[in-house]
A and B are shown apart, each in its own frame.
Chain A
Amino acid sequence: MKVNRRRFLQGTAAAAASVGGFAPNAWAEDPISVASIHDLSGGLDIYGKPMVDALTLAVEEANAAGGLLGRKIKLINYDTQSNMQLYTQFAQQAALKDKVAVVHGGITSASREVIRPVLGRFKTLYFYNTQYEGGVCDRNQFDTGVTPAQTVEKLVPYAMKKWGKKVYVIAADYNYGQITSQWVKKYVTENGGEVSSIDFFPLDVTNFGSTISKIQAAKPDFVWSALVGGAHMSFYRQWAAAGMRKSIPMASTTFAVGNEHIVLSPDECNGMLVCYNYFQDLKNKTNEAFVAGFHKRFGADYPNVTELAMGTYQGFRIWAEAVKKAGTIDRIKVIEALETGISIDAPSGKVTIDPPTHHCVLDVHIAEVNDKKLKVLEDFAQQKPSDTAAVCDLIKNPADNQQYVIKI
């Protein structure tokens, strides 16, 4: 770092101030900037808004508790408007102009792959807090969302036991859907079942009529949905309108993440099975306190704290914990602190960073959609990201930087 006169004066002034021992809310230094890069408008905002709300709450809580390292935290929100180009632009702006300590953001896997190289190049720590298809191996990135080995592996046998062995998969047509559907196929085959077909849909498709006919012709025991976004929600409507909900049940890795279960009527989605890390109705003290705080901040009529919102909240908390442990916001030191396998007691249960993969060990739950609520049916404690662990070891090979498409 070049030391010029201004920087020297700033530094000494800050040092003097901290020696002077001001009251804690007369913040001693510049605030720590944290970037939030999420879609707050456009087709993906059903996911982005709750994520930003959760991050806002996490930052406010941290500031109320005295900030980090005696410094206030400043959250900078960038709205990417469901537009991939803006992800590049804002990631560069966050890293180069605003010089943030960490970026929390990215929703779709496509957007993650847009900002990951940018933040790697400009050496800015990156937290991706969305459940996704797994396989990202990058020392600069931490992933607090669940991956297929944690959810699909549990939900496939559960659904097969309940409904039968023949599965029809429908998925969004980009890396998330393509890879996740392969995982579904792997686990279905391993459990002695059969995937009769996998159909992909571009994100703007709204007419599912012929697909619904095709599914009926294939006569599966159940349908697996990895559909994404507002347009795809019409699949569930058309499915119910064709009278299919009662004859062929459905499981999903994406449903309810955008509160689809509240937007759709119970008649259109009751009985659907999902599997995530977090549900608002989880019974534990930390979660009850969290939900109460969330409702106090955003109103008691807030529809539902989603899986992605909780991922983002937990991502920020883990990062903050690592900064405390490292005693600095220096990127490498924070990464090293995270790589000690740091853990927090979060609303979803204990969440621990898995050092070799930079993913998380956490609890998952299977739940059923029931009258606009998600009813938890079964719990699985402390699941490891074994999919990514099969290919990625950042402790042995810290220079690794790619997304593995796991051979299935």
Chain B
Amino acid sequence: MDLIALLAIQVLYAIASLALISVGLAIIFGMMRVINLAHGEFLMLGGYAAIVATSHGISIWIAMLVVAPIVVGIIGVIVEMTIIRFLYGRMVDTMLATWGLSLFLVGLTTAIFGNTTVGISAPLGSFQIGAYRTSGYTLFVIGVAVVVLAGIFAVLRWTRLGLIARGTMQNANMAAALGVNPPRVYAVTFGIGAALSGLAGAVLAPVSGVFPTIGVAYVAKSFITVIGGGAAILSGTVSASALFGTINQIATFATTPVFGEVALLATAIVLIRLLPQGITGRFFRRGL
């Protein structure tokens, strides 16, 4: 029984971390149809931002929850204005450009921070479930994911910004005719997507450590989650994370981590074969 509770926490944690690392990408992809291959590097930059801020004496919570998203959000806006802006609608070109950006960011961080793994110890200690122990930080990550997803829902559903964003997403020309300035919406959205990636990278930094190429470990999974989820940003991310996270963790626990990864990828392949538009191409179509 205790073990089941512990396993449930691990499954929730896997879902939460998948959702966190994917949601920034989902926003950028869902909004602007930009395949951002530098997504993993945004996560990596978030991790570095948090670690650098912490080592300069800023409280770890502020470093993770405030500094990292702001820093990466600003970087995102700069990237949008200098690179992405000129490439909307040219999918292959944006892929090439963001891939180049990813290599550049890896090189830059290697030059600045060196190619060693840095990290901060996870705060919050551990707690007991019956005979088992687990990290309190796990619950924190789950909490952050819930808050982030709820926040996105609230913004998209109930604010003017969300309305404009949804309108631009559905039909940019029509939105422009109604007085919205799509380039600005795009810049802001890209910045928010980047900021959320930075937040995710920072929150996961104490768990996995940070090194310049860590983006690679994240990027494949976040792409699979976004593609598996389909067009709707929120319901897509949540449903795909829930599916993949659960399968991955249960397979890992029942067999080995290798099969856990295999099970996740196999599920993704079957899913895309059956639902080429992703989960939200068939279900939750009216979701956000």
Contacts and interface: CB of A to CB of B under 8 A. Distances in A.
A323 to B, nearest CB: 33
Contacts of B256: 199-200
Interface string A41-52: 111011001000
A210 B208 contact: no
Interface string A273-308: 000000000000000000000000000000000000
Nearest to B121: A265
A382 B117 CA distance: 34
A209 B14 contact: yes
B249 A209 contact: yes
A154 to B, nearest CB: 28
B133 A247 contact: yes
Contacts of A209: 10, 13-14, 134, 138, 249
A377 interface: no
Looking at chain B, what size class is its interface with the partner chain? 35 or more
A63 interface: no
B5 to A, nearest CB: 10
Interface string A125-166: 000000000000000000000000000000000000000000
Contacts of B208: 206-207, 231, 234, 237
Interface in A190-226: 199-202, 204-214, 216-217
B119 A41 contact: no
Contacts of B117: 46, 230, 233, 263
A328 to B, nearest CB: 39
A175 to B, nearest CB: 14
Interface string A241-276: 111100100000000000100011101100000000
A26 B136 CA distance: 66
Contacts of A401: none
Interface string B5-34: 011001001100100000000000000000
Nearest to A303: B116
Nearest to A199: B256
A155 B242 CA distance: 43
B257 A213 contact: no
A243 B261 contact: no
A242 B257 contact: no
B131 to A, nearest CB: 8
A103 to B, nearest CB: 23
Given A45-B116, A263-B116, A213 B121 contact: no
A240 interface: yes
B3 A241 contact: no
Interface string B134-152: 1111100000000000000
Contacts of B17: 207
Contacts of A211: 252, 257
Nearest to B137: A241
A210 B246 CA distance: 11
B224 to A, nearest CB: 14
A207 B7 contact: no
B207 A244 contact: no
A173 B256 CA distance: 11
A210 B15 CA distance: 13
Nearest to B116: A46
Given A46-B117, A210-B249, A242-B133, 15 more contacts: A46-B116, A200-B257, A206-B217, A207-B208, A209-B14, A210-B14, A210-B260, A211-B252, A212-B134, A213-B134, A216-B132, A230-B209, A238-B135, A241-B137, A264-B119
Report, nearest first, the 7 A-B pairs whose CB atoms are least far apart: A243-B126, A241-B135, A206-B208, A241-B122, A230-B117, A234-B208, A243-B133
Interface of B: 3, 6-7, 10, 13-14, 17, 110, 115-119, 121-122, 124-127, 131-138, 206-209, 211, 213-214, 216-217, 249, 252-253, 256-258, 260-261
